Amino acid sequence: MLDSIRDFFERFIGARPVDNAHSGDAIALATTALLVEAMRADARIDDRERAVVLAAVSSRFGIDGSRATELLALAEREVREANDHYQFTSLIDRHFDQPAKIRVLETMWQVIWADGRIDAHERHLMRRITDLLHVTHGDAVAAQARAREAALGPRATD
């Protein structure tokens, strides 16, 4: 994973090589990987979900279109090769404060709600990620509600 991160950030961002798993580069990839997990959770990758991921990556990490697309592709590859979510969530859990972790969950919910529906696999993924990030149930529910309202409007129900 670290070689892939190093190659990406050296090529597109001109960042110095990744020295350890605590770098911002690894955290960017871990965050993007969780968004990819949300996109893949229902086994249907929708163009709207992909657009939400790309917009979030661009906004959160300050990278433009082609660079965001490359980071997304790298994250998709890392997710396919990963054994579990822990390698991604552990970095975020250690290096993000509680509001930032809640924003990650909210963005994951935005990805999930992008196609206008939610299924049991997506709910299960979000419960696991919420636990791994040590976010309270109340904060997770509020993040979901904000994402649902943004996607479907204030009177949306699931």
The pLDDT tens digits along the chain (158 residues) read 445 555 544 444 344 434 443 467 888 999 999 999 999 998 888 899 999 999 999 998 888 888 899 999 999 999 999 989 999 999 999 999 999 999 999 999 999 999 888 999 999 999 999 999 999 999 999 999 999 998 887 765 54
Number of domains in the chain: 1
Q: Quote the CA–CA distance of 121 and 139 in Å, as a whole number.
A: 20
Which residues, including other chains, have CB under 8 Å from residue 54's CB and lie 6 or more apart? 65, 68, 69, 72
Residue whose structure tokens are 């991921």 = 53
Instruction: With respect to residue 104, please indicate whether it lies within any of the assigned structural domains.
Output: yes
CA 73 to chain centre: 13
Task: Assign residue 114 the CATH number of its domain.
Answer: 1.10.3680.10
Domain that holds residue 68: 2-152
Instruction: With respect to residue 144, please indicate whether it lies within any of the assigned structural domains.
Output: yes
Q: Quote the CA–CA distance of 62 and 2 in Å, as a whole number.
A: 21
Instruction: With respect to residue 157, please indicate whether it lies within any of the assigned structural domains.
Output: no
End-to-end CA distance of the chain: 37
Instruction: With respect to residue 85, please indicate whether it lies within any of the assigned structural domains.
Output: yes
Instruction: Enter the DSSP assignment of 134.
Output: T
By CB atoms closer than 10 A (0-12, 13-18, 19+), residue 46 is middle
